[in-house]
Structure 1
Amino acid sequence: MTSFADSLKREIARIARKELRDEITTLRKNTIAQRLEISAMKKQMGAVQSQLKKLARGNPEPPKAPKLLDSASSAATSKGKPGRKAVFTAERLKTQRARLGFTQDQMARLLEVSALSIWKWESGGAAPRASRVPQILQRLALGKREALALVTEVE
């Protein structure tokens, strides 16, 4: 038979593990994000160093500007003009939804995602996958009639 002290110790340990689980998960996510950022910075640094070596050799070719590390530019798509990028932002999604007069559910049907995704994107809690951003931006640029036709077509 276990004593009261043993039961209390096991319960305290269980609660401590439960409380630490969320913190450890957050730390792991931060670590992964930082490792990805470090990797991108190393690549960028390598490109800058190779350009520096070319300049040191007296290469007449002008150096290309290195791609700066920016979470917004990774989700960008070209809009046709060189050097200009169309970027997905939560504010842009909110503005376009208001312009179209759509609910989050209607916007979700237009973009072929869940209403929860729309809510998370608008609140800034998440962002769409980079592969989906061009399609989303294209649909956000539609006029009200075209968008409404697509939404009713999806239903």
Structure 2
Amino acid sequence: MPNIGTVLKSEIARVSRKELRGETEAMKKSITLYRSEIAHLKRRMQTLEQQVRRLGKAAAKGSPAPEEEDDDKPHVRYSAKSLASQRRRLGLSAAALAKLLGVSALSVYKWESGNTRPRAKQIEAIAALRGIGRREAAKRLAEL
């Protein structure tokens, strides 16, 4: 038969472990909440610092802020994959597309492969080609 002292001691240890587990669970939840909030604040601070740097550079150059530059022009998106699919849709070779855009065939190849990105003027010309079909593209090529 076990000694009543050892049984009492083991029961007290079990109850105290149970109480501690409950207390630590609450602390773990609050620590997790604090850590996620700290991470969110760090990300926000980093974006704000980037904006301050960008605005500082723009002010140093004497030019308007980047957000103010293109208010009157609609933003045109560009991707290498869409340029390649647009060229295939029009049934053009890279050289023919280059001729339409007024650039070299190597430039079109590099744009489609994603190695380089066209300048704003070329992006506008690419966007203008989105609204034409095969016949119109062939007609424009014949004119050139």
* Structure 1 length-normalised TM: 0.46
* Structure 2 length-normalised TM: 0.50
